[in-house]
Amino acid sequence: MHILKAQELHNLAMNIVGEKLQAMGYEFQAINSQLKRHPQFVLFKKGEPTIFVLVKTSSNLQDPNEYDTVWMETFKEHAKKQNAKVWFAGVGIANAESVENPVFKDQPYYVAFEDFVKILE
Q: For residue 51, is it within any domain?
A: yes
Q: For residue 80, is it within any domain?
A: yes
What distance in Å separates the CA atoms of residue 105 and residue 47, rounded to the nearest whole number?
40
User: Is 90 within 8 Å of 65 (Cβ atoms)?
Assistant: yes
Element (H, E) at 15: helix 6-23
**What Å distances lie between residue 71 and 24, 47, 54, CA to CA?**
27, 29, 12
Question: Residue 36 maps to which CATH number?
Answer: 3.40.1350.10
Q: For residue 21, is it within any domain?
A: yes
Q: For residue 58, is it within any domain?
A: yes
Q: How many domains does the chain have?
A: 1
CA 18-20-26 angle, 5° bins: 75
- For 64-121, how does the pLDDT look when each residue is reduced to its tens digit (9 = 90+)? 999 999 999 999 999 999 999 999 999 999 999 999 999 999 999 999 999 999 999 9
| Domain with 72 in it | 6-120
What distance in Å separates the CA atoms of residue 75 and residue 105, rounded to the nearest whole number?
33
Q: For residue 113, is it within any domain?
A: yes
- For 17-73, how does the pLDDT look when each residue is reduced to its tens digit (9 = 90+)? 999 999 999 999 999 999 988 999 999 988 999 999 999 999 999 999 999 999 999
Q: For residue 23, is it within any domain?
A: yes
What distance in Å separates the CA atoms of residue 28 and residue 74, rounded to the nearest whole number?
23
Q: For residue 1, is it within any domain?
A: no
